[in-house]
Structure 1
Amino acid sequence: MGEALERDAPITALDQFMTAKEVMDRLRIAHRTLYRKIEEEGFPRPIRFNANCVRWREREVVAWVEAAAARNVEARV
């Protein structure tokens, strides 16, 4: 899957962040499904900037999707 991402890695100027809506749109899933994936499937947890601002690192979302696709391919072989 490439380099391992640390959950507590510092935020850099190059990080791109996604809202819940952007994550749901990219994965084509519902809000409840997003949070179920976090709890049950190891989907990256969001970063809470304040009470009303929650974002996902785009690189973590992409890495999770790539890993899930690789697992799917392996399961078919």
Structure 2
Amino acid sequence: MASQNPDRFLRLAAVLDRTGLSRATLYRKIHAGTFPQQVKLAERCCGWRESAVEQWLLNPMHYSASDAPIH
């Protein structure tokens, strides 16, 4: 039986580091639907699913948030 790693949440700094995007570009892409939406983790805290960011990294030019699987 293979164990599956649970999906982790990445904070803003980690997402910016992995993608090489600026903060403004990241939020512009979220608004345009070309980057995964962030998930609210607490009242003043949000993050991105690591799997969603990895999926974006596989094909950033043609990524569409509408094609992303719903968690």
Moved over 3 A (4+): none
Q: Note if 1:33 corresponds to 2:25.
A: yes
- Could you tell me how far apart the structure 1 residues matched to 2:47 and 2:62 are? 25
1:46 and 2:38 matched: yes
Per residue, is there more helix in 1 or in 2?
Answer: 1
Structure 1: which 5+ residue stretches go unaligned?
1-12, 72-77
- Taking structure 1 as the reference length, the TM-score comes to 0.65
> Which has more radius of gyration?
1
Distance in 2 (CA, whole Å) between partners of 1:18 and 1:49 is 11
| Cα-to-partner distance string for 1:34-70 (whole Å, 9 max, x where unaligned) | 1011112521001001221101000000101112267
Runs of 5+ in structure 2 lacking a partner? 64-71
What is the TM-score with the length of structure 2 in the denominator?
A: 0.70
The whole-number CA distance in structure 2 between the counterparts of 1:45 and 1:69 is 16
Q: Does 1:66 align with 2:58?
A: yes
Count of residue correspondences: 59
Instruction: Please tell me the residue identity of whatever aligns with 1:23.
Output: V
Cα offset for 1:32? 0.8
CA RMSD, Structure 1 to Structure 2 (Å):
2.0
Residue 19 of structure 1: which of 8, 11, 20 is its match?
11
Helix, strand or coil at the partner of 2:18: helix
